[in-house]
Amino acid sequence: MAEVTVLAATGNMMVAEAFRQAAPDVIAAYPITPQTAIVENYAKYVAEGRVHTEFVAVESEHSALSACVGASAAGARVVTATSSQGLALMYEELHIAAGMRLPIIMANANRALSAPINIHGDHSDVMGGRDSGWIILFAETAQEAYDNSIIAFRVAEHPAVQLPVMTTLDGFITTHAMERCELLDDGTVEAYVGKRRPQNPLIGGAAPVGHGMFASLGGTYFELKQAQRRAVCGSAPHILTEGQKWAAVCGRDFDFIDSFACDDADYILVVLGSAAGNARVVAKELRAAGIKAGVAKIRVFRPFPASELRDVLQGAKAVGILDRSDSFGAPYAPVGLDVRTALYDLDTRIPTRNYVYGLGGADVTLDAMRQAFSELQSLAAGHLDQGLSYLGTR
Protein backbone atom coordinates (compact mmCIF):
# COMPACT_ATOMS: atom_id res chain seq x y z
CA MET A 1 0.00 0.00 0.00
CA ALA A 2 1.49 3.35 -1.04
CA GLU A 3 2.17 5.92 1.63
CA VAL A 4 0.84 9.38 0.82
CA THR A 5 2.13 12.69 2.16
CA VAL A 6 -0.29 15.60 1.78
CA LEU A 7 1.45 18.93 1.38
CA ALA A 8 1.03 22.45 0.05
CA ALA A 9 3.29 22.69 -2.96
CA THR A 10 3.83 24.48 -6.24
CA GLY A 11 4.03 22.79 -9.60
CA ASN A 12 7.78 23.41 -9.73
CA MET A 13 8.21 21.75 -6.34
CA MET A 14 6.19 18.71 -7.40
CA VAL A 15 8.13 18.27 -10.66
CA ALA A 16 11.41 18.43 -8.74
CA GLU A 17 10.08 15.77 -6.35
CA ALA A 18 9.01 13.55 -9.23
CA PHE A 19 12.45 13.85 -10.79
CA ARG A 20 14.12 13.04 -7.46
CA GLN A 21 12.00 9.93 -6.97
CA ALA A 22 12.78 8.68 -10.49
CA ALA A 23 16.51 8.86 -9.63
CA PRO A 24 18.01 10.14 -12.88
CA ASP A 25 21.72 9.68 -13.51
CA VAL A 26 22.21 13.14 -15.04
CA ILE A 27 20.51 16.51 -14.97
CA ALA A 28 21.84 19.33 -17.15
CA ALA A 29 20.03 22.66 -16.98
CA TYR A 30 20.25 26.43 -17.16
CA PRO A 31 18.02 28.75 -15.12
CA ILE A 32 15.14 30.67 -16.70
CA THR A 33 11.96 32.12 -15.23
CA PRO A 34 9.53 30.57 -14.33
CA GLN A 35 11.25 27.17 -14.46
CA THR A 36 14.25 27.99 -12.25
CA ALA A 37 12.78 26.60 -9.03
CA ILE A 38 12.64 23.09 -10.50
CA VAL A 39 16.39 23.02 -10.96
CA GLU A 40 17.04 24.97 -7.74
CA ASN A 41 15.13 22.38 -5.73
CA TYR A 42 16.93 19.56 -7.50
CA ALA A 43 20.30 21.18 -6.84
CA LYS A 44 19.44 21.12 -3.12
CA TYR A 45 18.71 17.40 -3.33
CA VAL A 46 22.12 16.87 -4.91
CA ALA A 47 23.88 19.04 -2.30
CA GLU A 48 22.12 17.25 0.55
CA GLY A 49 23.04 13.83 -0.82
CA ARG A 50 19.42 12.80 -1.29
CA VAL A 51 20.15 11.79 -4.89
CA HIS A 52 23.20 10.51 -6.69
CA THR A 53 22.58 12.49 -9.85
CA GLU A 54 25.39 14.16 -11.77
CA PHE A 55 24.37 17.84 -11.89
CA VAL A 56 25.84 19.54 -14.96
CA ALA A 57 25.78 23.34 -14.79
CA VAL A 58 26.00 24.64 -18.34
CA GLU A 59 26.28 28.02 -20.04
CA SER A 60 23.00 27.98 -21.99
CA GLU A 61 19.85 26.01 -22.64
CA HIS A 62 21.29 24.80 -25.94
CA SER A 63 24.22 23.37 -24.00
CA ALA A 64 21.84 21.85 -21.44
CA LEU A 65 19.99 19.75 -23.98
CA SER A 66 23.23 18.98 -25.83
CA ALA A 67 24.65 17.52 -22.60
CA CYS A 68 21.44 15.56 -22.11
CA VAL A 69 21.72 14.13 -25.63
CA GLY A 70 25.25 12.88 -24.96
CA ALA A 71 24.40 11.44 -21.55
CA SER A 72 21.26 9.72 -22.80
CA ALA A 73 23.06 8.24 -25.79
CA ALA A 74 25.68 6.88 -23.37
CA GLY A 75 22.90 5.03 -21.52
CA ALA A 76 22.04 7.35 -18.63
CA ARG A 77 18.58 8.30 -17.36
CA VAL A 78 18.46 12.03 -18.06
CA VAL A 79 16.23 15.00 -17.14
CA THR A 80 16.22 18.73 -17.73
CA ALA A 81 13.88 21.71 -17.49
CA THR A 82 13.43 24.99 -19.34
CA SER A 83 10.99 27.66 -20.49
CA SER A 84 10.26 30.22 -23.19
CA GLN A 85 13.41 31.57 -24.88
CA GLY A 86 15.28 28.69 -23.31
CA LEU A 87 13.15 26.16 -25.16
CA ALA A 88 13.56 28.23 -28.31
CA LEU A 89 17.35 28.11 -27.86
CA MET A 90 17.08 24.31 -27.63
CA TYR A 91 15.23 24.09 -30.93
CA GLU A 92 18.11 22.44 -32.81
CA GLU A 93 18.60 19.87 -30.05
CA LEU A 94 14.88 19.08 -29.79
CA HIS A 95 15.05 17.55 -33.25
CA ILE A 96 18.35 15.80 -32.54
CA ALA A 97 17.06 14.21 -29.32
CA ALA A 98 13.92 12.95 -31.04
CA GLY A 99 15.68 11.85 -34.22
CA MET A 100 18.22 9.87 -32.19
CA ARG A 101 15.32 8.28 -30.24
CA LEU A 102 16.67 9.33 -26.84
CA PRO A 103 14.28 8.99 -23.85
CA ILE A 104 15.07 12.34 -22.25
CA ILE A 105 12.52 13.84 -19.86
CA MET A 106 12.10 17.62 -19.95
CA ALA A 107 9.77 19.84 -17.95
CA ASN A 108 8.77 23.05 -19.72
CA ALA A 109 7.26 25.93 -17.75
CA ASN A 110 5.03 27.34 -20.48
CA ARG A 111 5.86 31.02 -21.03
CA ALA A 112 5.44 33.68 -23.69
CA LEU A 113 8.14 34.30 -26.29
CA SER A 114 9.67 37.72 -26.95
CA ALA A 115 9.16 40.24 -28.43
CA PRO A 116 8.01 42.23 -26.58
CA ILE A 117 9.70 40.83 -23.45
CA ASN A 118 7.26 38.95 -21.25
CA ILE A 119 7.93 36.46 -18.45
CA HIS A 120 4.35 35.25 -17.96
CA GLY A 121 2.53 32.15 -19.07
CA ASP A 122 1.18 31.16 -22.43
CA HIS A 123 1.81 28.27 -24.83
CA SER A 124 3.85 30.02 -27.52
CA ASP A 125 7.07 28.27 -26.52
CA VAL A 126 5.85 24.69 -26.47
CA MET A 127 3.90 25.16 -29.70
CA GLY A 128 7.17 26.10 -31.39
CA GLY A 129 8.43 22.59 -30.62
CA ARG A 130 5.26 20.62 -31.22
CA ASP A 131 6.48 19.16 -34.53
CA SER A 132 9.95 18.15 -33.34
CA GLY A 133 9.03 14.55 -32.54
CA TRP A 134 8.64 14.77 -28.75
CA ILE A 135 5.73 13.29 -26.85
CA ILE A 136 4.05 16.26 -25.11
CA LEU A 137 1.88 16.19 -21.98
CA PHE A 138 0.01 19.17 -20.51
CA ALA A 139 -0.75 19.59 -16.80
CA GLU A 140 -3.64 21.59 -15.41
CA THR A 141 -2.50 21.45 -11.78
CA ALA A 142 0.61 20.87 -9.69
CA GLN A 143 -0.68 17.37 -8.96
CA GLU A 144 -0.98 16.59 -12.65
CA ALA A 145 2.51 18.00 -13.25
CA TYR A 146 3.81 15.48 -10.69
CA ASP A 147 1.85 12.57 -12.15
CA ASN A 148 2.78 13.42 -15.75
CA SER A 149 6.46 13.66 -14.83
CA ILE A 150 6.45 10.18 -13.27
CA ILE A 151 4.47 8.61 -16.12
CA ALA A 152 6.90 10.21 -18.60
CA PHE A 153 9.78 7.94 -17.55
CA ARG A 154 7.82 4.76 -18.19
CA VAL A 155 6.63 6.05 -21.56
CA ALA A 156 9.95 7.42 -22.82
CA GLU A 157 11.95 4.35 -21.81
CA HIS A 158 9.42 1.79 -23.06
CA PRO A 159 11.24 -0.52 -25.53
CA ALA A 160 8.60 0.18 -28.21
CA VAL A 161 8.74 3.96 -27.73
CA GLN A 162 12.28 5.25 -27.02
CA LEU A 163 11.37 8.91 -27.50
CA PRO A 164 11.89 12.09 -25.47
CA VAL A 165 8.93 13.35 -23.45
CA MET A 166 8.13 16.98 -22.61
CA THR A 167 5.87 17.52 -19.62
CA THR A 168 4.52 21.06 -19.46
CA LEU A 169 2.97 23.25 -16.79
CA ASP A 170 1.72 26.82 -17.17
CA GLY A 171 4.10 29.54 -16.09
CA PHE A 172 3.32 31.12 -12.69
CA ILE A 173 -0.24 29.79 -12.71
CA THR A 174 0.82 26.19 -12.14
CA THR A 175 4.55 26.59 -11.56
CA HIS A 176 4.25 29.01 -8.61
CA ALA A 177 0.75 28.75 -7.13
CA MET A 178 0.46 26.67 -3.94
CA GLU A 179 -1.98 23.75 -4.11
CA ARG A 180 -2.93 20.77 -2.03
CA CYS A 181 -0.87 17.92 -3.42
CA GLU A 182 -0.27 14.27 -2.67
CA LEU A 183 3.29 12.94 -2.73
CA LEU A 184 3.67 9.17 -2.85
CA ASP A 185 6.51 7.48 -1.00
CA ASP A 186 9.85 7.03 -2.73
CA GLY A 187 9.66 3.22 -2.79
CA THR A 188 6.32 3.21 -4.59
CA VAL A 189 7.53 5.61 -7.29
CA GLU A 190 10.82 3.75 -7.65
CA ALA A 191 8.96 0.47 -8.12
CA TYR A 192 6.65 2.01 -10.74
CA VAL A 193 9.39 3.77 -12.72
CA GLY A 194 11.87 0.89 -12.54
CA LYS A 195 15.43 0.91 -13.86
CA ARG A 196 16.42 2.24 -17.23
CA ARG A 197 17.51 -0.48 -19.64
CA PRO A 198 19.15 1.44 -22.48
CA GLN A 199 18.94 0.16 -26.02
CA ASN A 200 22.17 0.39 -28.03
CA PRO A 201 24.05 2.61 -25.55
CA LEU A 202 27.40 4.13 -26.46
CA ILE A 203 28.85 2.80 -23.20
CA GLY A 204 28.46 -0.72 -21.88
CA GLY A 205 26.56 -2.22 -24.80
CA ALA A 206 27.08 -5.63 -26.33
CA ALA A 207 28.67 -4.18 -29.48
CA PRO A 208 30.10 -0.87 -30.68
CA VAL A 209 27.41 1.53 -31.91
CA GLY A 210 27.17 5.02 -33.38
CA HIS A 211 24.59 7.72 -32.81
CA GLY A 212 23.66 10.67 -34.99
CA MET A 213 25.37 9.30 -38.09
CA PHE A 214 25.26 10.95 -41.52
CA ALA A 215 22.33 9.85 -43.71
CA SER A 216 23.40 10.25 -47.32
CA LEU A 217 21.29 11.95 -49.99
CA GLY A 218 18.02 11.74 -48.05
CA GLY A 219 17.05 8.12 -48.78
CA THR A 220 18.04 6.74 -45.39
CA TYR A 221 17.01 10.01 -43.76
CA PHE A 222 13.56 9.73 -45.34
CA GLU A 223 13.13 6.16 -44.05
CA LEU A 224 14.24 7.11 -40.54
CA LYS A 225 11.77 9.99 -40.42
CA GLN A 226 9.01 7.61 -41.48
CA ALA A 227 10.05 5.30 -38.65
CA GLN A 228 10.05 8.27 -36.28
CA ARG A 229 6.47 9.13 -37.22
CA ARG A 230 5.43 5.52 -36.66
CA ALA A 231 7.08 5.63 -33.24
CA VAL A 232 5.36 8.84 -32.14
CA CYS A 233 1.94 7.73 -33.38
CA GLY A 234 2.53 4.22 -32.06
CA SER A 235 3.34 5.53 -28.60
CA ALA A 236 -0.35 6.26 -27.90
CA PRO A 237 -1.35 2.84 -26.52
CA HIS A 238 1.76 2.74 -24.35
CA ILE A 239 1.02 6.22 -22.96
CA LEU A 240 -2.49 5.10 -22.07
CA THR A 241 -1.31 1.83 -20.53
CA GLU A 242 1.43 3.43 -18.44
CA GLY A 243 -0.84 6.29 -17.39
CA GLN A 244 -3.52 3.90 -16.25
CA LYS A 245 -0.98 1.79 -14.38
CA TRP A 246 0.00 4.91 -12.46
CA ALA A 247 -3.67 5.74 -11.93
CA ALA A 248 -4.09 2.35 -10.26
CA VAL A 249 -1.20 3.21 -7.92
CA CYS A 250 -2.14 6.80 -7.04
CA GLY A 251 -5.94 6.68 -7.40
CA ARG A 252 -6.12 9.57 -9.89
CA ASP A 253 -7.60 8.99 -13.34
CA PHE A 254 -5.53 9.22 -16.48
CA ASP A 255 -6.74 9.55 -20.05
CA PHE A 256 -5.83 11.43 -23.20
CA ILE A 257 -8.78 13.75 -22.67
CA ASP A 258 -10.35 14.80 -19.37
CA SER A 259 -14.02 15.25 -20.24
CA PHE A 260 -16.39 17.23 -18.04
CA ALA A 261 -20.14 16.90 -18.74
CA CYS A 262 -19.51 16.18 -22.42
CA ASP A 263 -21.73 13.10 -22.82
CA ASP A 264 -24.86 15.12 -23.62
CA ALA A 265 -23.29 18.54 -24.14
CA ASP A 266 -24.50 20.85 -26.88
CA TYR A 267 -21.64 23.33 -26.43
CA ILE A 268 -18.11 22.19 -25.61
CA LEU A 269 -14.90 24.13 -25.01
CA VAL A 270 -11.63 22.34 -25.82
CA VAL A 271 -8.70 23.53 -23.71
CA LEU A 272 -5.12 22.78 -22.67
CA GLY A 273 -3.63 23.32 -19.22
CA SER A 274 -4.63 25.55 -16.34
CA ALA A 275 -7.56 27.36 -17.98
CA ALA A 276 -9.66 24.19 -17.79
CA GLY A 277 -10.73 25.03 -14.24
CA ASN A 278 -12.37 28.32 -15.16
CA ALA A 279 -14.03 26.69 -18.16
CA ARG A 280 -15.56 24.04 -15.88
CA VAL A 281 -16.84 26.66 -13.42
CA VAL A 282 -18.77 28.38 -16.19
CA ALA A 283 -19.97 25.07 -17.62
CA LYS A 284 -21.43 24.24 -14.19
CA GLU A 285 -23.17 27.64 -14.10
CA LEU A 286 -24.70 27.03 -17.50
CA ARG A 287 -25.79 23.52 -16.55
CA ALA A 288 -27.61 24.98 -13.54
CA ALA A 289 -29.37 27.35 -15.94
CA GLY A 290 -30.45 24.48 -18.20
CA ILE A 291 -27.79 24.93 -20.90
CA LYS A 292 -25.87 21.76 -21.75
CA ALA A 293 -22.23 22.90 -21.60
CA GLY A 294 -19.12 20.74 -21.36
CA VAL A 295 -15.32 21.00 -21.27
CA ALA A 296 -12.78 18.72 -22.96
CA LYS A 297 -9.27 19.14 -21.60
CA ILE A 298 -6.51 17.62 -23.73
CA ARG A 299 -3.84 16.09 -21.50
CA VAL A 300 -1.78 14.29 -24.17
CA PHE A 301 -1.08 16.75 -26.98
CA ARG A 302 1.48 14.72 -28.96
CA PRO A 303 0.61 12.25 -30.27
CA PHE A 304 -2.60 14.14 -30.88
CA PRO A 305 -5.65 12.12 -29.70
CA ALA A 306 -7.79 12.73 -32.78
CA SER A 307 -10.06 9.69 -32.55
CA GLU A 308 -10.60 10.11 -28.81
CA LEU A 309 -11.47 13.76 -29.35
CA ARG A 310 -13.95 12.90 -32.10
CA ASP A 311 -15.69 10.52 -29.72
CA VAL A 312 -16.02 13.27 -27.10
CA LEU A 313 -17.15 16.04 -29.47
CA GLN A 314 -19.30 14.22 -32.04
CA GLY A 315 -22.66 14.99 -30.41
CA ALA A 316 -22.06 18.72 -29.89
CA LYS A 317 -23.94 21.48 -31.69
CA ALA A 318 -20.90 23.80 -31.56
CA VAL A 319 -17.31 23.54 -30.33
CA GLY A 320 -15.02 26.30 -29.09
CA ILE A 321 -11.27 25.70 -29.25
CA LEU A 322 -9.14 27.66 -26.78
CA ASP A 323 -5.57 28.45 -27.85
CA ARG A 324 -3.02 30.14 -25.59
CA SER A 325 -0.81 30.80 -28.62
CA ASP A 326 -1.25 31.77 -32.24
CA SER A 327 0.02 30.50 -35.59
CA PHE A 328 0.48 33.76 -37.45
CA GLY A 329 -0.63 33.54 -41.05
CA ALA A 330 -2.47 30.23 -40.61
CA PRO A 331 -6.27 30.18 -40.71
CA TYR A 332 -6.39 28.93 -37.11
CA ALA A 333 -4.16 28.71 -34.07
CA PRO A 334 -2.27 25.46 -33.28
CA VAL A 335 -4.91 23.61 -31.24
CA GLY A 336 -7.63 24.93 -33.56
CA LEU A 337 -5.85 23.44 -36.56
CA ASP A 338 -5.54 20.03 -34.89
CA VAL A 339 -9.10 19.91 -33.55
CA ARG A 340 -10.69 20.99 -36.83
CA THR A 341 -8.59 18.38 -38.65
CA ALA A 342 -9.78 15.71 -36.22
CA LEU A 343 -13.42 16.70 -36.76
CA TYR A 344 -13.14 16.68 -40.56
CA ASP A 345 -13.76 12.93 -40.77
CA LEU A 346 -17.10 13.11 -38.98
CA ASP A 347 -20.17 12.61 -41.17
CA THR A 348 -21.81 15.66 -39.58
CA ARG A 349 -19.85 18.89 -39.77
CA ILE A 350 -19.72 20.52 -36.31
CA PRO A 351 -19.32 24.31 -36.41
CA THR A 352 -16.28 25.53 -34.48
CA ARG A 353 -14.91 28.81 -33.23
CA ASN A 354 -11.21 29.20 -32.42
CA TYR A 355 -10.33 31.54 -29.54
CA VAL A 356 -6.84 32.88 -28.83
CA TYR A 357 -6.71 33.86 -25.18
CA GLY A 358 -4.40 34.62 -22.26
CA LEU A 359 -1.28 35.56 -24.23
CA GLY A 360 1.57 36.85 -22.10
CA GLY A 361 -0.23 35.88 -18.91
CA ALA A 362 -3.35 37.94 -19.59
CA ASP A 363 -6.09 37.08 -17.09
CA VAL A 364 -8.35 34.21 -18.08
CA THR A 365 -11.58 35.40 -16.51
CA LEU A 366 -14.90 33.68 -15.97
CA ASP A 367 -16.47 36.41 -18.08
CA ALA A 368 -14.24 35.42 -20.99
CA MET A 369 -15.42 31.82 -20.66
CA ARG A 370 -19.03 33.01 -20.47
CA GLN A 371 -18.48 34.98 -23.67
CA ALA A 372 -17.08 31.92 -25.45
CA PHE A 373 -19.99 29.70 -24.43
CA SER A 374 -22.47 32.44 -25.39
CA GLU A 375 -20.91 32.75 -28.82
CA LEU A 376 -21.10 28.98 -29.29
CA GLN A 377 -24.85 29.20 -28.85
CA SER A 378 -24.96 31.93 -31.53
CA LEU A 379 -22.70 29.83 -33.74
CA ALA A 380 -24.99 26.81 -33.46
CA ALA A 381 -28.00 28.99 -34.30
CA GLY A 382 -26.28 30.30 -37.44
CA HIS A 383 -25.86 33.86 -36.11
CA LEU A 384 -22.05 33.77 -35.96
CA ASP A 385 -19.47 32.71 -38.52
CA GLN A 386 -16.81 30.09 -37.91
CA GLY A 387 -13.32 31.52 -37.63
CA LEU A 388 -10.78 32.83 -35.13
CA SER A 389 -11.00 35.68 -32.66
CA TYR A 390 -9.00 36.99 -29.72
CA LEU A 391 -10.85 36.44 -26.44
CA GLY A 392 -10.63 38.89 -23.55
CA THR A 393 -8.73 41.70 -25.26
CA ARG A 394 -9.74 45.33 -24.83
pLDDT at residue number 353: 98
pLDDT at residue number 142: 98
- For domain 4-250, give the CATH number: 3.40.50.970
Start and end residues for every CATH 3.40.50.920 domain found in the chain: 257-391
- Give φ, ψ of 274 to 5 degrees: -70, -20
246 close to 274: Cβ distance less than 8 angstroms: no
- CATH 3.40.50.920 for domain 257-391: yes
Distance, CA of 148 to CA of 83 (rounded, Å): 17
156 close to 102: Cβ distance less than 8 angstroms: no
DSSP string, 238-290: HHHHHHHHHHHHHS----SEEEES-TT-SEEEEEEGGGHHHHHHHHHHHHHTT
Which residue intervals of 289-333 are DSSP H helices?
306-313
- Please name every residue paired with 181 in a beta bridge, in sequence order, or none if there are none: 7
Distance, CA of 137 to CA of 202 (rounded, Å): 29
pLDDT at residue number 3: 96
pLDDT at residue number 356: 98
Burial of residue 48 (CB within 10 Å: 0-12, 13-18, 19+) is exposed
pLDDT at residue number 253: 97
Distance, CA of 69 to CA of 237 (rounded, Å): 26
Reading the chain (394 residues) residue by residue, the pLDDT tens digits are 789 999 999 999 999 999 999 999 999 999 999 999 999 999 999 999 999 999 999 999 999 999 999 999 999 999 999 999 999 999 999 999 999 999 999 999 999 999 999 999 999 999 999 999 999 999 999 999 999 999 999 999 999 999 999 999 999 999 999 999 999 999 999 999 999 999 999 998 888 898 888 887 768 899 999 999 999 999 999 999 999 999 999 999 999 999 999 999 999 999 999 999 999 999 999 999 999 999 999 999 999 999 999 999 999 999 999 999 999 999 999 999 999 999 999 999 999 999 999 999 999 999 999 999 999 999 999 999 999 999 988 6
- Give φ, ψ of 54 to 5 degrees: -80, 115
Start and end residues for every CATH 3.40.50.970 domain found in the chain: 4-250
pLDDT at residue number 225: 95
153 close to 325: Cβ distance less than 8 angstroms: no
Predicted TM-score (pTM) above 0.75:
yes
